[in-house]
């Protein structure tokens, strides 16, 4: 059965919300790892999150996750989060190499580990929302 336009729009919207959530949570992690102004913690987290979102955009992470989310038909709730982790790790390496290996090896490891927990958490919540929205739509018919 082909995906309806409405469902595709929902999937793409959820994907963007997931990526924004990932950027915000990774901004928090970067603030803790790399340092922050003790009088402006929230501001620093938002600055880091903005930089991360910009890097997600420039490496193509935003678009690849949106495309995969829009067309992925996996029946298992955990399947898309696994793909999203792989995309995150791939795009993080693209970013790191692209900016001249800016992160220290210790920081790269921490960011990878944080991403490996944050990305599936965000995508799992998004997947649950989509599953609920799909079931509700089917029940209405």
Percent of the chain at pLDDT > 90 equals 42
pTM, full prediction = 0.82
- The CA-atom distances, in angstroms, between 5 and each of 12, 13, 70, 116, 125 are 11, 12, 10, 31, 22
Residue-level pLDDT at 97: 79
Of 126 and 137, which is predicted with more confidence? Answer: 126
Q: How confident is the model at residue 99 (pLDDT cuts 50, 70, 90)?
A: confident
Which helix (H) or strand (E) covers residue 19, if one does? helix 5-34
| Mean pLDDT, residues 75-92 | 88
Residue-level pLDDT at 3: 67
CA distance 44 to 32: 10
pLDDT at 4 > cutoff 80: no
pLDDT tens profile 40-71: 999 999 999 999 999 899 888 999 998 988 88
């Amino acid at each position: 059965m082909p995906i309806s336009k409405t469902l595709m729009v929902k999937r793409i919207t959820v994907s963007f919300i997931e990526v924004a959530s990932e950027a915000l949570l990774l901004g928090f992690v970067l603030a803790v790892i790399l340092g922050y102004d003790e009088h402006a913690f929230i501001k620093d987290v938002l600055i880091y999150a903005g930089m991360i979102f910009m890097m997600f955009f420039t490496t193509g992470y935003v678009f690849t996750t949106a495309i995969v989310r829009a067309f992925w038909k996996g029946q298992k709730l955990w399947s898309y989060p696994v793909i999203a982790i792989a995309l995150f790790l791939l795009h993080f390496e693209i970013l790191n190499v692209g900016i001249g290996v800016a992160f220290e090896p210790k920081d790269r490891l921490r960011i990878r580990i944080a991403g490996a927990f944050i990305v599936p958490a965000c995508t799992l919540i998004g997947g649950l929302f989509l599953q609920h929205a799909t079931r509700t739509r089917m029940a209405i018919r």
